Amino acid sequence: MTHMTPGGESRPAPPLLSPTSPPDMADTLGIDRTRLRDALAVRRARAAVIETEWVALCERDAARGTPRGIRVDDRATWDKAMWNRYLAAAAASEPRFLPRLRRLHDEIARLEALLAPLSAHAAKAA
């Protein structure tokens, strides 16, 4: 196949991409891996903050009326009543935390899915 130039000359068409050297998928699709990784890191950090806040609230609620010998910072010392208070606090505060965590985990899964084929392609190229 030949191509015609604007000046009316003809020249051979550029070679097709060979299957042994495919283009970089990220470049082809206009996806910046660094931005994807940064977005993942931000969402993971947000999820960690929310989880930490939730645990702290539950521990604080469970600590009310704690008998001596039970330390909030050492779960090995918790008795059944302490665990029950903790779980009750977690269930009661679920509407405050769980929707945000679900949304973040869904976003993380979507970003990971976008990044996965790119990472697999990069590994093949290396």
Residue 125 pLDDT greater than 90, yes or no: no
63 in a structural domain: yes
| DSSP calls for 25-49 | HHHHHT--HHHHHHHHHHHHHHHHH
pLDDT of residue 104: 97
pLDDT of residue 88: 96
pLDDT of residue 1: 52
14 in a structural domain: no
- Residue-wise pLDDT for 32-61, tens only, equals 889 999 999 999 999 999 999 999 999 999
Instruction: Decide the pairing of beta strands 2-4 and 10-12.
Output: antiparallel
Cβ(100)–Cβ(84) under 8 Å? Answer: no
Cβ(90)–Cβ(54) under 8 Å? Answer: yes
18 in a structural domain: no
Of 115, 91, 108, give the one whose Cα is nearest residue 48: 108
Number of domains in the chain: 1
26 in a structural domain: no
3-state secondary structure of 106: helix
5 in a structural domain: no
20 in a structural domain: no
Which range marks the domain in which residue 38 is found? 32-125
22 in a structural domain: no
Cβ(54)–Cβ(93) under 8 Å? Answer: yes
- Residue-wise pLDDT for 71-114, tens only, equals 888 889 889 999 999 999 999 999 999 999 999 999 999 999 98
Cβ(86)–Cβ(58) under 8 Å? Answer: yes
| Measured distance CA(53)–CA(99) in Å, rounded | 14
The predicted model gives 55-69 an average pLDDT of: 88
116 pLDDT band, cuts 50/70/90, is confident
Greater confidence, 119 or 115?
115
95 in a structural domain: yes
What's the predicted TM-score (pTM) here? 0.66
